[in-house]
């Protein structure tokens, strides 16, 4: 007549178990999304920082043997013999042109760029599209 307590209950989840599961998922899902967005933001910041660090090393190596010919707010021109090297902002990139032919992209996602000069020093300020600002000083030979 009576069923024993040892008989398996195969009816599935109870309503209370479903409600608790949905509540836990509702709490965890937004936290997981925030974690992913924070990680992506950090990776983008590190990308610009690494790009700037590599650019500074490469730029200093390239201009060290060159002589500063002229500069404007958006470009700087170096010479050595018959070689003329121009670094200038084009759209949202900093590019290098040698003797007016071809170009190499050195920095990307630039919003604003400034060059200035003081003796053998070339000062460069960059504001990236994400609002990050970087400044650096590079050394070169004097004017010819």
User: Does residue 4 sit within a domain?
Assistant: no
For 84-99, write each residue's pLDDT tens digit: 999 999 999 999 999 9
Is the pLDDT confidence value at 30 over 50? yes
User: Does residue 2 sit within a domain?
Assistant: no
Domain hosting 123: range is 15-139
Q: How far apart are CA 37 and CA 135, in angstroms?
A: 28
The stretch 60-78 carries a mean pLDDT of 88
Sign of torsion over alpha carbons 57, 110, 94, 87:
negative
Looking at the whole model, is its pTM more than 0.75? no
User: Does residue 144 sit within a domain?
Assistant: no
Tokens representing 126 are 């960059």
Please tell me the total count of domains within the chain: 1
Q: How far apart are CA 126 and CA 131, in angstroms?
A: 10
> Of 47-51, 67-71, 75-79, where does mean pLDDT reach its minimum?
47-51
Contact 9, 3 (CB under 8 A): no
User: Does residue 60 sit within a domain?
Assistant: yes
């Amino acid at each position: 007549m009576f069923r024993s307590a040892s008989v398996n209950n195969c009816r599935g989840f109870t309503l209370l178990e479903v409600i608790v599961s949905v509540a836990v998922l509702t709490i965890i899902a937004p936290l997981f999304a925030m974690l992913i967005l924070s990680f992506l933001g950090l990776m983008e910041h590190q990308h610009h920082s690494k790009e700037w660090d590599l650019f500074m090393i490469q730029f200093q190596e390239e201009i060290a043997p060159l002589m500063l010919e002229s500069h404007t707010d958006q470009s700087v021109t170096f010479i050595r013999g018959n070689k003329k090297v121009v670094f200038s902002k084009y759209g949202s990139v900093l590019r290098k042109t040698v003797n007016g032919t071809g170009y190499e992209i050195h920095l990307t996602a630039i919003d604003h760029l400034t060059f200035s000069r003081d003796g053998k020093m070339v000062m460069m300020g960059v504001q990236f599209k994400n609002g990050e600002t970087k400044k650096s000083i590079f050394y070169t030979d004097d004017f010819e």
